[in-house]
C-alpha cells in the first residue's frame, strides 16, 4: 500500500504543478478511508516541504445528509488547510489559478487555546473566536462535482481550494449558533440563502466531530488554527465577479474572481 500512497501523491502533486485535472483515483485504485487519509497526509507533508508552507487548520466537508449521500458515507470528512489556502475577505483571485472552483458559505472558527481531544461544544465556544467565511472547494479531478467517491475526495485533501476569513468576533451562544441566517449574492444579486442548522444541526457540533475524529489519529486542534466548519448550502459553481455572504449577527465575507 505504501507504493500506492506514493504513486497517488505524486499524481496529485503533478496535477497541482501542471494545472491539468486527472481522472478519479477510484478508476485505478481501491482505497480504504484510512489509506485515503494517509494519502492526504503525505500530500500535505510534501506540499509543505516543496513550497515552504505550513498547516494552518482544517476544513470540514459533507456536513449534511445530502452531501454524505453523494459519497456513500454516514459522517463528514476533513481536509487540511495550509497557510496558503487562507485568504482575507475582500481579496481578488484569478480564476485561472484554480481548477473547477465552487462556492460554499461557512462559519470560520479560530482557536484561542488548544482543544482537548474530547472537546465538547461548551469547551469549543470557550476557546474560539468565529468569523464570517467562504470556502472555495476545488478538486484536481475532471468533472469532479458531484461525481467523486469518498476515497477520491479524501485523497485530494477533500477538494481544498481556498478559505476566505473576515473579521473575527466572540462566538454566540450554542442555541444562537444554530440559528444564523445566511444570504449569498453574486455581483449584488441574491442567489441563495440558508441556515446554520444545516451544518450538523449546529456548526459548533461540527468542530466537536473534528476534534474526536482527529483524536483517533493521535492529533489535536491547536491554538490559532483556522477551521472552516461546513457549508450552509450545496456548493455552487464559481463565475467571474464578486460573491458576498451576509450572516445574521456575524457580518459578511466577500471574494472576487477575475
For the chain (length 258 residues), average pLDDT per consecutive 10?
Answer: 90 94 95 96 96 97 81 90 98 96 97 96 98 97 94 96 98 98 98 96 97 96 98 95 98 98
CB 85 within 8 A of CB 161: yes
β-strand pairing of 226-231 with 55-61: parallel
- pLDDT, residue 67, reads 78
Q: Which SS3 state, helix, strand or coil, does residue 65 take?
A: helix
CB 168 within 8 A of CB 129: yes
- pLDDT, residue 74, reads 84
Distance CA 245, CA 253 (A): 5
Q: Which SS3 state, helix, strand or coil, does residue 13 take?
A: helix
- pLDDT, residue 11, reads 96
| pTM of model > 0.85 | yes
Which residues contact residue 41 at a Cβ distance below 8 angstroms, ignoring those fewer than 6 apart?
80
- pLDDT, residue 65, reads 76
Amino acid at each position: 500500500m505504501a507504493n500506492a500512497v506514493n504513486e497517488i501523491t505524486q499524481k496529485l502533486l503533478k496535477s497541482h504543478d501542471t494545472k491539468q485535472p486527472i481522472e478519479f483515483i477510484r478508476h485505478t485504485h481501491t482505497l480504504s478511508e484510512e489509506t485515503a487519509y494517509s494519502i492526504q497526509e503525505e500530500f500535505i507533508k510534501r506540499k509543505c516541504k516543496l513550497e515552504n508552507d505550513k498547516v494552518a487548520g482544517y476544513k470540514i466537508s459533507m456536513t449534511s445528509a445530502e452531501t454524505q449521500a453523494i459519497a456513500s458515507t454516514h459522517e463528514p470528512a476533513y481536509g487540511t488547510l495550509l497557510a496558503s489556502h487562507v485568504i482575507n475577505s475582500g481579496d481578488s483571485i484569478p480564476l485561472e489559478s484554480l481548477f473547477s472552483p465552487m462556492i460554499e458559505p461557512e462559519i470560520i472558527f479560530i482557536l484561542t487555546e488548544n482543544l482537548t481531544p474530547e472537546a465538547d461544544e461548551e469547551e469549543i465556544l470557550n476557546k474560539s473566536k468565529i468569523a464570517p467565511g467562504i470556502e472555495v472547494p476545488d478538486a484536481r479531478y475532471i468533472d469532479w462535482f458531484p461525481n467523486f467517491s469518498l476515497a477520491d475526495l479524501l485523497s485530494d485533501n477533500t477538494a481544498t481550494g481556498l478559505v476566505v476569513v473576515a473579521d473575527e468576533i466572540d462566538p454566540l451562544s450554542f442555541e444562537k449558533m444554530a440559528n444564523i441566517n445566511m444570504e449569498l449574492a453574486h455581483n449584488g444579486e441574491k442567489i441563495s440563502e440558508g441556515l446554520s442548522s444545516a451544518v450538523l444541526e449546529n456548526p459548533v457540533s461540527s468542530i466537536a466531530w473534528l476534534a474526536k475524529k482527529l483524536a483517533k489519529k493521535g492529533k489535536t486542534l491547536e491554538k490559532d488554527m483556522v477551521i472552516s466548519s461546513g457549508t450552509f448550502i450545496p456548493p455552487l459553481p464559481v463565475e467571474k465577479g464578486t460573491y458576498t455572504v451576509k450572516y445574521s449577527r456575524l457580518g459578511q465575507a466577500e471574494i472576487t474572481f477575475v
